[in-house]
Structure 1
């Protein structure tokens, strides 16, 4: 909600997280809620997606929420769109995913986690 109590749907830039019905989907939804719900946040955004959602980097107290989700094993660095990120973010998000994978945190505890873009493709058929 913004200062006028208008709710905005934000698509987290640079990452893709499990769908709610996917393994770890609810865990990752709670993680995002813990990081951002009922907090004052700012969004660095440059565009809308085809559904009219703002695509952006969410910051709470200067902390990059998108990056924290990746570090917690609650998202993939969305390499399909990495060229839309500044180079520093691209490198940091990629390193965060590699670290989460190596540590088997969050969704990386699963033996073969299915990326959400593949999950959605199968569900559409």
Structure 2
């Protein structure tokens, strides 16, 4: 009985300890860039964790500048050590994070400066101002009169899918 309790207790502690890696900011290495604002980071326990950048949304695959946003993100952070500052989860359960390079460069701010992302509606004033600046300069997304935001593009794609009966 004691052996069984200690085994269960050890298993519980292991689960709690591994779950804590997702609840704390950490430094890790970027091992994959899925799209402009979705990346995978390997932590010190060799676990690969997927994050979506907080405060921004980049064009979806198939949209104008989606490949440019992905390439920009890859050039800036792929295979580099970064600081991951956790910001909770989105409504789909995806982990949100602010990603900062060793030199202090904040990834989502750079995407906004280049006109490769939209600022989230709940974003900080810094992010909103960076988006407004890119719009004023007519760079990136803002070379178009009315670029389609990714959240509208995703909804349109869902509506075009055949419905099952």
Contact 2:88 2:95 in 1 (8 A): yes
Q: Which runs of 5+ in 2 are unaligned?
A: 1-41, 160-165
TM-score by length of 1: 0.86
TM-score by length of 2: 0.66
Distance in 2 (CA, whole Å) between partners of 1:16 and 1:123 is: 16
Q: Which residue of structure 2 aligns with residue 70 of structure 1?
A: 112
Deviation at 1:4, TM superposition (A): 3.0
Q: Which residue of structure 1 aligns with residue 85 of structure 2?
A: 44
Q: Which residue of structure 2 aligns with residue 107 of structure 1?
A: 141
Larger Rg over CA atoms: 2
Q: Which residue of structure 1 aligns with residue 59 of structure 2?
A: 18
The size of the alignment, in residue pairs, is: 117
Structure of higher RCO (CA pairs closer than 8 Å, 6+ residues apart): 1
Q: Which residue of structure 2 aligns with residue 2 of structure 1?
A: 43
Distance in 1 (CA, whole Å) between partners of 2:45 and 2:93 is: 19
Q: After superposition, where does 1:55-94 map in structure 2 within 5 Å?
A: 55-61=96-102, 62-79=104-121, 81-82=122-123, 90-94=124-128
Contact 2:51 2:97 in 1 (8 A): yes
Q: Which residue of structure 1 aligns with residue 130 of structure 2?
A: 96
Q: After superposition, what is the alpha-carbon deviation per residue over 1:11-38, rounded to whole angstroms, capped at 9, x for unaligned?
A: 1101111002111001111111111111
Q: Which runs of 5+ in 1 are unaligned?
A: 83-89
Quote the RMSD (CA, aligned, Å). 1.4
Q: Which has the higher strand share?
A: 2
